[in-house]
Amino acid sequence: MRFQEMTMALDRFWADRGCVIAPPHDTEVGAGTFYPTTFLRALGPEPWRVAGIAPSRRPADGRYGQNPYRFQYYYQYQVVLKPSPADVQDTYLASLYHLGIDPLAHDIRFVEDNWESPTLGAWGLGWEVWMDGMEITQFTYFQQVGGIDCAPVSVELTYGLERLAMYLQGAQHAFDVEVAPGVTLGNLREDFERQHCTYNFDHVDADLQRLLFDRFEVETQRLLGLDLVHPAYEFALRCSHAFNLLDARGVLSHTERQGFVQRVRRLTEACASAYLAARTSDAPAEVA
């Protein structure tokens, strides 16, 4: 199964189970959890189901494309179901079957994982899903998001698409994964990855990113003052990315790093509270 067929299969599978298939968000994020369709929609009582490919950036994780598994830019497949259904594990296993992975032919385990995102004021409990010793999915029941208790609880499934594709195609490196006939992930991302790694580690202008962080932080607060939650949250995401670039550049001391984490957290928590207060206009249609 080619990479794009995989994502299409997952879209089909989750659409059939009542999910909105949302296109990727266009602000840089460290993980699908930062998507407004996850972070903000996990708040409040309204049911919500969303799925889709979620490109993510973690500047510090880049390895210039040398490591088969680690990248500064990669694809997650993100599913959020609110409230978490009682049969979600079975549904998840069915989605693997849908991808051509027969759970009866593999060693699949749900291994304890306690998830926490200090910059999002969020934590949850769940599992890493292991297939034959490889982590292929993170499975989390959100308990708190933006410092607010989740009620009802959402479950988030994050598939590691590159790993799954490598497995399905027998590829030794993510860049060898075939996306479409004759086109590999490497064709799409190799130069991009290498150049961004060089940028992240050696050429990030630290003064510029610090300045941007400061300005974006003020902007987030200003927009919150105008009750413009969605634009405010995007500026909070930009703060988070500026912080990630500074972190990758290696210019933050331990203490300073903690300070940035706290500042991002204060912004995302403020956005969460503001969203919860103002979200009536966003109330979604009944979810199947």
Partner 1 sequence: MATLLFEIGTEELPSWFVRQSDEVIGGIVSARLGGAGLEHGAIRSYATPRRLAVLVDGLAPFSERRADVRRGPAASAAFEADGRPTKAAIGFARSNDIDPADLVVEETEKGRYVFARREVGGDPAAELLPALLAGVVDDLPAPRKMRWGDGDAAFVRPLAWLVALLDDAVIPVRYAGIEAGRTTRGHRFLHEGPVELAHAGEYSEALARASVGADRAERKASVIASAESAAAAVDLRLERDGALEDEVTDLVESPSAILGSFDARFLDLPDAVLATVMIHHQRFFPTRERGGDLAASFVAISNNRVPDDRVVRGGYEQVLRGRLDDARFFWDADRRDTLARHAWALAGIAFHKELGSMADKVARVAKATRRLAELLGVSKEEAAVLKQALPLFRADLATQMVYELPELEGTMGCAYARAEGLPDAVAVALEDGVLPRGPSGPLAATRVGALLSIADRLDTVTGFFAIGRRPSGSADPFGVRRAALGALRTLTAQGWRVPLPKVLEAVAGSFSAPVIEDDVLADVERYLWDRVAGLLAEEAVAPMVVRAAVHGSRSVIGAARRAHLLQGLVALPGFADLLTLHKRAANLAKQTGGAARVKPGLFRDPVEGPLHDALPEARRGVERLMAGVRKQLAPWDLGRGPGAELSDLDAAVAEVVRLKAPLDAFFEGVMVMVDDAEVRGNRLALLAEVADALSDLGALSYLEAPGET
Which residue in the set 59, 124, 146, 160 belongs to the binding site for partner 1 (CB under 8 A)? 124
Instruction: List binders of partner 1 among 248-277 (CB under 8 A).
Output: 253-255
Q: Closest approach of Cβ 181 to partner 1, in Å?
A: 25
Instruction: Using CB under 8 A, count the residues that bind partner 1.
Output: 38
Q: How far is the CB of 69 from partner 1 (least distance, A)?
A: 6
Say which residues have a Cβ less than 8 Å from residue 110's Cβ, sequence separation at least 6. Answer: 89, 127, 128, 129, 130, 139
Out of 60, 152, 176, 194, which residue is the one contacting partner 1 (CB under 8 A)?
A: 152
Stretch that binds partner 1, among 50-58, 132-140, 189-197, 215-223 (CB under 8 A): 132-140
* Closer of 111 and 206 to partner 1 (Cβ): 111
Nearer to partner 1 (CB atom), residue 85 or residue 231: 85
Q: Tally the C-alpha atoms within 13 A of residue 170's C-alpha that lie toward its C-beta.
A: 0
Q: Which two tokens stand for residue 248?
A: 């990758």
- Contacting range for partner 1; rule: CB under 8 A; set: 32-40, 119-127, 188-196, 212-220: 119-127
Choices 3-11, 149-157, 182-190, 267-275; region in contact with partner 1 by CB under 8 A:
149-157
Binding footprint of partner 1 on the chain (CB under 8 A): 67-69, 83-86, 89, 103-112, 114, 124-125, 127, 131-134, 141, 143, 150-153, 155, 167, 172, 253-255
